[in-house]
Structure 1
Amino acid sequence: MDGAAMLVGDVGCGAGATSIAAARANSKARIIGMDLSEALLAVAAERAAGLDNLGFVAGPVEDILPPLGPFDLIVSRHGVMFFPDPVDGLAAMRAGAAPGAGLIFSCFRAPSHNLWSSEIVAAMLDAPPPPPEAYAPGPFAFADEKFVRSVLAAAGWSNAEPRAVDFTYRAGEGEDPVADAVAFFTRIGPAARVLRDAPAGRRRDMLDRVAEVCARYRHGNAVDFPAAAWLWSAENR
């Protein structure tokens, strides 16, 4: 790089946690976080006050990455599963990558490994949700290893390798962690979508069922679910 600072792009950075961690870990790198939500980026910018090697840009990756690149590393924490067309989205990321640049991203594995989704939704619907018939943007859009490998190849990325990671998904905490978790699930994820589409007369019962599931995973002042993700790496070769 001829002495130039390493340029790192964080796709779907949200409120900036990963971008901020990267900026603090390597003060000589230049980090650019990008997201569609200007409201979340405003929170990120406030949290990042004082970090001179970090900036944020609002907009889709195809409008941001190539003009600001080439990037030496592109990362994304659970931000790649929402592209309308996953091949186009990952190809746009590659278009903004320098030759030899790395790509690292995480995405959820199957709902059966993520009880914060599968058990909650099954309780709300009285049955497990049917699997999607085709690709649809969402938390589990990249759950299938073979599908993701094919998408990365079609987008031009090389040497793609996944690593399975198990972790704890904290849904609620505080004096009433169950209530905190229920409120969280009404705002985000598959449960929020089920609740939004349900008849008004059923929503109270659904929320009570969500609370029952959350109570089973309460540990002291926290509600923690088992969760599982893929950690993918690839290269622009």
Structure 2
Amino acid sequence: MTSGLDWSGRVGDVWAEQWRRTERSFTHLTAHLDAAIAAVAPRRGRALDIGCGVGSTGLALRAARPELEVVGVDLSPEMLALAGTRAADVEGRGGALRFVCGDAVSVAASEGPFDLFVSRHGVMFFPDPVAAFTGLRAAASPGAAMVFSCFDERARNGFATLADEAVGHSPAPVAGYEPGPFAFADSHRVGAWLEQAGWALEAAARVDFEYVVGQGAAPVEDAVDFLSRIGPAARAMATAAPDERERIAAALHEGLSHHRTGDQVALPASAWIWRVRAGAA
């Protein structure tokens, strides 16, 4: 699965290249996450955006709370460069928005304390979730909130099941914990990790949403191109022989055509949005 090294290199570069498409894919989830964050965000103080990517969550938080200092952290220099460019037009407003390249827990330790932690699908790649959440708890102000999203189980996310059908097989079940897109799918296990790390659970909401993979005059072709670059089909195609890549692409086209509505192709998807508080030390 994706490692920290991948995000700082090849995978991060591809996501930076495809950032407009990846942002589009999360549009319907982002609205729910931003609302959940705004509901608990303090007017002033400091927030850490974990796995900030191109900065969308931090930008939305800054818009909702102009006096809040927001620090975005990510392992990808390419995505952080884009985040900085996108944030340049708000630098003159109150508060602060800046981005740091590095490990989220290390940055939290060196720059804390923080009054709020947020993440859109960044926490699923922690190599040791309990250790990571414990480190974040140590960098939290008293009563600090944390709000993050993560994918629900693979079977509830069409971008993965359609890719599995196109490739011709599903990945074998993982024994134990392995970082990756679906590493936080089990809400009971995630809740136990958080409690063990010193966070008090407030809410865990399952959110079903449309994952937009294609749009425009040729939305199916756009969707095939996107899924050939990002996600499980892309990983299979990267190592496949040319004729196998063509077969997978054709199978993707066939499957995606059934999800076209007008100028858009959207797949059913599901995620969790978690809200927790720093418990008593």
Select 2:197's aligned residue among 155, 162, 165. Answer: 155
Deviation at 1:200, TM superposition (A): 4.2
> What is the DSSP-based 3-state SS (H/G/I as helix, E as strand, rest coil) of the residue aligned with 1:15?
coil
Question: Percent of aligned pairs with the same residue?
Answer: 42
Q: Match for residue 83 of structure 2?
A: 44
* In 1: Cα distance, 2:197 partner to 2:238 partner: 34
Report the 3-state secondary structure (helix = DSSP H, G, I; strand = E; otherwise coil) of the residue aligned with 2:183: coil
Of 153-162 and 220-229, the range deviating more from structure 2: 153-162
Partner AA of 1:49 in structure 2: A
Q: Is the 8 A contact 1:66 1:97 kept in 2?
A: no
Give the superposed CA RMSD.
1.8
Contact 2:194 2:201 in 1 (8 A): no
| AA of the residue aligned to 1:234 | V
Counterparts in 2 of 1:171-190, with a 5 A limit? 171-190=213-232
Structure 1 residue 211: Cα displacement: 1.3
Residues 55-109 of structure 1 show CA distances to partners (whole Å, capped at 9, x for unaligned) of 1111001221121111100000011001111222222222221121011100010
Paired amino acid for 1:107 = C
Distance (Å, rounded) in 1 between the aligned partners of 2:257 and 2:194: 39
Unmatched segments (≥5 aa) in structure 1: none
8 Å contact 1:36–1:59 — kept in the other structure?
yes
In the aligned structure 1, how far is the partner of 2:241 from the partner of 2:173? 22
Asked if 2 retains the 8 angstrom alpha-carbon contact of 1:9 and 1:33, the reply is: yes
The 8 Å contact of residues 165 and 229 in structure 1, kept in 2 or not, is answered as: yes
1:99 corresponds to which of 142, 156, 161: 142
Equivalent residue number for residue 27 of structure 1: 66
| Aligned counterparts of 1:4 and 1:12: Cα–Cα separation in 2 | 22
Question: What is the number of residues matched between the two proteins?
Answer: 234
- Map of 1:1-237 to 2, 5 A cutoff? 5-52=44-91, 53-125=96-168, 127-237=169-279
Which has more helix, going by share of residues? 2
Any idea what the Cα deviations from partners look like across 1:15-35, whole Å, max 9, x if unmatched? 111111111111111111111
CA positional deviation for 1:4: 9.3
Instruction: Flag structure 2 segments of 5+ consecutive residues without an equivalent.
Output: 1-41
- Contact kept in structure 2, 1:10 and 1:32, CA below 8 Å: yes
Q: Offset of 1:119 from its aligned partner? A: 2.1
Query: SS of 1:138's equivalent?
Result: coil
